[in-house]
Amino acid sequence: MSYPEMSIIRDIRVLTEKFIPNRILHRTGQLEAIRDDIKPLLEGSVPRHVFIHGNPGTGKTCMARYVAGELESYSSDIVQSYTNCWENPSRFRILYNIAKDVSSAPIIHRKGTPTDEILEMIKRSLEGKHCVVILDEVDKIEDDRVLYDLITLQNVCMLMIANSSTALYNVDSRIRSRLASSDNIEFRPYSSSEIIDILSDRSEWGLIPGVITGQQIEMIAASVSGDCRAAIDIMRVVSEEAERSEHEKITDDMIERSLPRIEMFKKELSMGALNPHQKLIMEIVTGAGGTIDSGELFRKLSELSASKGMESIVDRTFRNYTNKLVKYSFLNSSGDGRWRTFALPKKQF
Ligand SMILES: Nc1ncnc2c1ncn2[C@@H]1O[C@H](COP(=O)(O)OP(=O)(O)O)[C@@H](O)[C@H]1O
Ligand SMILES: [Mg+2]
């Protein structure tokens, strides 16, 4: 559906959270890994469950729904189910939700239907089929037996999503041990340039050409600390404002007014908020011409901090400090693990 009478917005749905884009940018490694984990389902063997974790707005839900949708369209034997465990925390609600998604006949919800009966319904509906079950906000489940229920279904692959990497630490040890072979995939915050790409792609579908400039997209991307939801939200809010106030274009002023508060704090805090090691990290990256790989940065930091008589820091602290610098947009990062590189953002505030 398009809106020919609109002068700013072409399709508002593209700028809403539920929209699943037709391509996922900058998550190729993760996308391939999840595809590989699920693939055995297609071949009738046992898939690997997947645990996806990362900060809000890092594309976890979007990725899970995208992959599940992709698979569902691949074969009529594959079905998918999505449950947000925050909205449906009990074992009954989760299984009931899955039963609704996977059964072809309507589920009759009698009061007092035993949960085990719902589980049997799911089993029957899935005979001869395979199913991808997304459990979003999985740390909000009230009763971890539901994970056990689903593990016992051989033809189900679970995509479990949470913000924290430790979300499943407290589940019953028998369940944890069965989930030990799950693939554990981290979604790091996006760099500003990755957010720019995603916003540009979205604006092409969602907005009339030319109503937002590249520089305005950069302004939004620089302010959201790698949170793609916040970035798209801002773009939607300013588009709606421009549309409502009958502007022909989005103005810088509209964007400035809708930028998150954190950006203002950050401007004030600026370098004053950094600890000595983080300041040293910033100096090293600047000295290296603005880009440096993680290994070299760590080596130089160790050398320099030793020569300045500062405490030496371990790898984990290093990651913690650099993650904070990325989170607050002092640095951009790309790549993972050993291949991670850090760079100064294009525009320093
Ligand atoms: N790699 C990506 N490519 C395209 N759109 C993305 C990507 N990552 C996130 N988004 C979009 O950003 C918004 C937030 O993503 P979401 O998956 O809901 O984040 P999370 O579940 O990690 O909080 C959604 O509108 C989603 O479509
Ligand atoms: Mg989510």
- Domain containing residue 287: CATH number: 1.10.10.10
Compute, in angstroms, the gap from residue 226 CA to the centroid of ligand 2.
14
Domain that holds residue 323: 270-343
Q: Splitting the chain (349 residues) into consecutive groups of 10 residues, what average pLDDT does each group show?
A: 72 93 95 95 89 96 96 90 95 95 79 86 94 96 95 95 93 92 95 96 96 96 92 95 94 88 52 80 88 94 91 91 86 87 70
Question: Is 57 close to ligand 1, i.e. is its CB under 6 Å away?
Answer: yes
The reply to whether 248 and 275 lie within a common domain is: no
Domain end marker among 187, 208, 223? 187
The reply to whether 153 and 213 lie within a common domain is: no
Question: Number of folded domains in the chain?
Answer: 3
The reply to whether 132 and 206 lie within a common domain is: no
Q: Which atom of ligand 1 is nearest to the CA of 58?
A: 22
Q: Give the whole-angstrom CA distance, residue 267 versus residue 328.
A: 10
The reply to whether 165 and 63 lie within a common domain is: yes
Task: Indicate the top mutation candidate among 228, 234, 237 to test ligand 1's pocket, ranked by most ligand atoms within 8 A of CB.
Answer: 228
Domain end marker among 187, 216, 238? 187
The answer to whether the beta carbons of residues 88 and 134 sit under 8 Å apart is no
Compute, in angstroms, the gap from residue 137 CA to the centroid of ligand 2.
7
Question: Is 296 close to ligand 1, i.e. is its CB under 6 Å away?
Answer: no
Residue 198 sits in a domain whose CATH number is 1.10.8.60
Question: Is 295 close to ligand 1, i.e. is its CB under 6 Å away?
Answer: no
The reply to whether 216 and 333 lie within a common domain is: no
- DSSP state letters, 289-301: TSEEEHHHHHHHH
Question: Is 61 close to ligand 1, i.e. is its CB under 6 Å away?
Answer: yes
Question: Is 191 close to ligand 1, i.e. is its CB under 6 Å away?
Answer: no
Predicted pLDDT of residue 140 = 92
Predicted pLDDT of residue 3 = 47
- DSSP state letters, 59-115: SHHHHHHHHHHHHHHH-TTEEEEEEETTTS-SHHHHHHHHHHHH-SSPPP--TT--H
The reply to whether 42 and 113 lie within a common domain is: yes
The reply to whether 183 and 135 lie within a common domain is: yes
Predicted pLDDT of residue 266 = 52
CA-proximal residue: ligand 1, atom 25 (nearest):
17
The reply to whether 182 and 276 lie within a common domain is: no
Residue 163 sits in a domain whose CATH number is 3.40.50.300
Phi, psi of 196 (to 5 degrees): -60, -45
Pairing of strands 130-136, 341-343: unpaired
The reply to whether 51 and 122 lie within a common domain is: yes
Whether the model pTM is above 0.95: no
